[in-house]
Amino acid sequence: MQLQRLLSYTRKAVDEYQMIGEGDHVAVGISGGKDSLTLLYALQGLQRFYPKSFQLSAVTVDLGFEGFNLSPVQKLCQELKVPYHVVKSDIYHILFDVRKEPSPCSLCAKMRKGALNDAVKKLGCNKVAYAHHKDDIIETMLLSLIFEGRFYSFSPKTYLDRMDLTVIRPLMFVDEMEICGFRNKYNLPVVKSKCPVDGYTKRQYAKELLKQLNTEHPGARERMFHAIQSGNLKGWPEKWSGRHS
């Protein structure tokens, strides 16, 4: 995927769901994976020509895994001229040494988001961008149907009233396959996860299920995404039909 195509998808999401306004300070949550680094490129590129002026910062919550080297990410942020902040935490120690969690993913995500949101507020940001893409949205819907018995997926834009912070997901129209192509084309400095349960999660199950469903029923993936967008899901904002001047 070319950068121009990525920027087109990003602009579409930002415009349709009014994700960014004049004077916003947007923090990009950086895990070190391909998705968050692609999001960094997308928003830094959008910042150059978007009619509404906004600031960017990049933030990583260091979970405390031994050997987790963020220097390649730091170098990329310097090249893109985006301020980069690393927040140290004891999340790994708490989950695996203290609590010895057999299924740590849900609690880890909650703690990581809490640490990230606290950090971006201290930086003066009013919005935080998560790198969830189209496949993430569909997989979340499948997980919700299978394990919770409800039709749900996370919203493109969510206001957290307790934090006075808005979460945005500018990659919502981007396929994971295209992100893989973007990573390869632009040699993104991906930092591999050190998590011992990486790849053995319900999320991975949903990913494989979605792939199987789309192989057996071509187009099923896009139809599911359309159903989510048009399903009047709780928390989803209406699309904006106007155009920026």
Contacts of 221 (CB under 8 A, 6+ apart): 135, 138, 210, 213, 214
Q: What is the CA radius of gyration of the chain?
A: 18
CA 156 vs CA 88, 169, 229: distances in Å:
28, 5, 10
**What average pLDDT does the segment 213-233 reach?**
95
CATH top class, domain 3-134+155-195: alpha beta
- pLDDT band at 234, cuts 50/70/90? confident
pLDDT category of residue 232 using cuts at 50, 70 and 90 = confident
Q: Is the pLDDT of residue 244 over 50?
A: no
The pLDDT score that the predictor gives to residue 50 is 96
pLDDT digits (tens, 9 = 90+) for 128-155: 999 999 999 999 999 999 999 999 999 9
pLDDT over 60 at 126, yes or no:
yes
pLDDT at 245: 36
Once rounded to an integer, what is the mean pLDDT over residues 100-112? 82
Tokens of 69: 């080297």
* Distance in angstroms (rounded) separating the CA atoms of residues 229 and 216: 23
- Find the mean pLDDT for residues 101-108: 80
CA atoms of 87 and 112, how far apart (whole Å) = 10
Q: Is the pLDDT of residue 243 over 60?
A: no
Cβ partners under 8 Å of residue 22, min gap 6:
52, 53, 54
Of the ranges 38-42, 135-139, 166-170, 236-240, which one carries the lowest mean pLDDT score? Answer: 236-240
Considering the entire predicted model, what is its pTM?
Answer: 0.91
Q: Determine the average pLDDT of the residues in 47-52.
A: 96
Query: What would the mean pLDDT of 71-98 be, rounded to a whole number?
Result: 91
Residues 159-179 have a mean pLDDT of 96
Indicate the domain borders of the chain.
Answer: 3-134+155-195
pLDDT of residue 74 exceeding 80: yes
